[in-house]
Amino acid sequence: MAPTKKPDILTQDGVTIVEFGPTFERISEDSIPAASEALIQAAGGENSKVVIDLSQTQFFGSSFIEALFRGWNKLKTRPDAAFVLCGLTDYCREVLEVTNLNRLWPTYPDRATAINALAKPT
Domain of 102? Answer: 8-118
52 part of a folded domain? yes
108 part of a folded domain? yes
Query: What is the distance between the alpha carbons of residues 52 and 59, in angstroms, rounded to a whole number?
Result: 14
- Scanning the chain, the segments in alpha helix (DSSP H) are 32-43, 62-75, 90-98, 111-118
**For residue 26, what is the domain's CATH number?**
3.30.750.24
- Confidence band of 119 (pLDDT split at 50, 70, 90): confident
| Domain count for the chain | 1
Instruction: Give per-residue pLDDT as tens, 51-86.
Output: 999 999 999 999 999 999 999 999 999 999 999 999
* Mean pLDDT value across the chain: 94
b (16+ CB within 10 A) / e for 77-105: eeeeebbbbbbbbeebeebbeeeebbeee
Closest CA to 20 of 87, 99, 84, 90: 87
